[in-house]
Amino acid sequence: MELALDEDSGWLQGVRRVPSPNFDARPAGCRVELVVVHGISLPPGEFGGAHVDALFTNTLDPAAHAYFAEIASLRVSAHLFIDRSGELTQYVPLHRRAWHAGESCFEDRQRCNDFSIGIELEGADHLPYADIQYQELARVIRMLIHTWPDITSERVVGHSDIAPGRKTDPGPAFDWTRLRRLIA
């Protein structure tokens, strides 16, 4: 099934929606040209639950886990999240700037949040991602390429590619060859 984007609102139709307050406007004249694939699990290496939603909505309980005390004050978000079962959640309208990449650079351009879509996959660097996650990610990327022609398969990168030395996700377990085959 194809994804449908309401171009006025920036929201995908028919997907789970959990609005994050952590976004702002893209700079004037800035086009979407990049997709950044991330990996996330909260707590690290554990899957399931509502912790990702809580992180992106500033409601993560710092007392719920020792790791959460370190990150609960962060103000971060992503446009989309694909959990281990393939369920797609949207946090930020696609035409707005989500706060996912941090200090970053792509092809000598700083501030990748300005011109990218951030997609989080529920996973960990050294654990294989689920088949359904690849399928859903490819479906999303095909829609993004159709909507924003400046995005090409070469402009689908990992967080580690735009923030080397600082970030490692989606990690060595992520199969880039498989993804590129699925979006072709």
Q: Which of 7, 70, 120, 136 is catalytic?
A: 120
Please state, in angstroms and as integers, the Cα–Cα distance from residue 146 to each residue in 34, 90, 141, 152, following that order. 13, 18, 8, 10
CA 127, 142, 162 angle in degrees (round to 5)?
55
120 given a catalytic annotation: yes
Strand-pair category, 105-106 with 34-40: unpaired
Nearest to 175 by CA among 121, 128, 113, 132: 128
Q: What tokens appear for 40 in the block?
A: 């996330």
- How many CB atoms within 10 Å of residue 154? 9
Please report the beta strands in the chain, taking only residues with DSSP state E, as ranges in sequence order.
4-6, 11-13, 16-17, 23-24, 34-40, 80-82, 88-90, 97-98, 105-106, 109-110, 116-122, 156-158
Report the catalytic residues: 120
